[in-house]
């Protein structure tokens, strides 16, 4: 346990979040242009994000932080588990590409063909469906309905007789 604590202390959480957030911002620009969809952006974010972490902290720490990031989703069956499996697979593909010297940096995606070639190698997650437990809180205000009470019909209270 001390080993994990030392690794987590080594990672600057704010810096790591900023790295991945900056990558996501660049990928959103590509998505907004219509070249990729949300699921493809997620796959690319994992591919490029784990590489940025590896550049900063080394492959082992990046790999371990990817596992920690997925958290309990690793053992949850169903949609969260499937999403986690795909995310870990894309992290592993990125680290394998680094080891083999064939990885791409985000700035190297200068053509549609390179983008599609990379997406053909990555695992694309299924669309994520929100349910009552995973849906983000609604920002919509619901109209106020006055509380009404149904007292039911009781013949002794009928005043029309």
Q: Tens of pLDDT along 141-159?
A: 444 444 444 445 445 554 5
* Confidence (pTM): 0.69
- For residue 138, the model assigns a pLDDT of 46
Q: Residue 116: its pLDDT value, please?
A: 93
Confidence band of 79 (pLDDT split at 50, 70, 90): low
What does the pLDDT read at residue 1?
A: 58
| pLDDT band with cut points at 50, 70 and 90 for residue 109 | confident
pLDDT of residue 160: 54
pLDDT of residue 36: 94
pLDDT of residue 88: 87
Contacts of residue 37, Cβ cutoff 8 Å, sequence gap at least 6: 31
Based on its alpha-carbon atoms, the radius of gyration of the chain, rounded to whole angstroms, reads 24
Instruction: Give the residue, 101 or 144, on which the prediction is more confident.
Output: 101
């Amino acid at each position: 346990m001390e080993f994990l604590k030392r690794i987590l202390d080594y990672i600057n959480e704010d810096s790591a979040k900023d790295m991945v957030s900056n990558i996501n911002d660049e990928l959103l620009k590509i998505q907004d242009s219509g070249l990729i969809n949300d699921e493809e952006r997620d796959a690319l974010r994992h591919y490029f994000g784990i590489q940025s972490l590896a550049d900063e902290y080394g492959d082992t720490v990046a790999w371990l932080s990817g596992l920690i990031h997925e958290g309990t989703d690793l053992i949850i069956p169903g949609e969260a588990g499937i999403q986690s499996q795909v995310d870990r697979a894309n992290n592993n593909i990125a680290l394998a590409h680094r080891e083999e010297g064939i990885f791409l940096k985000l700035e190297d995606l200068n053509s549609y063909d390179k983008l599609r070639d990379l997406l053909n190698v990555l695992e694309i997650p299924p669309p994520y469906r929100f349910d009552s437990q995973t849906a983000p809180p609604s920002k919509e205000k619901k109209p106020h309905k006055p509380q009404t009470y149904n007292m039911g019909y009781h013949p002794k209270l009928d005043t029309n007789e």
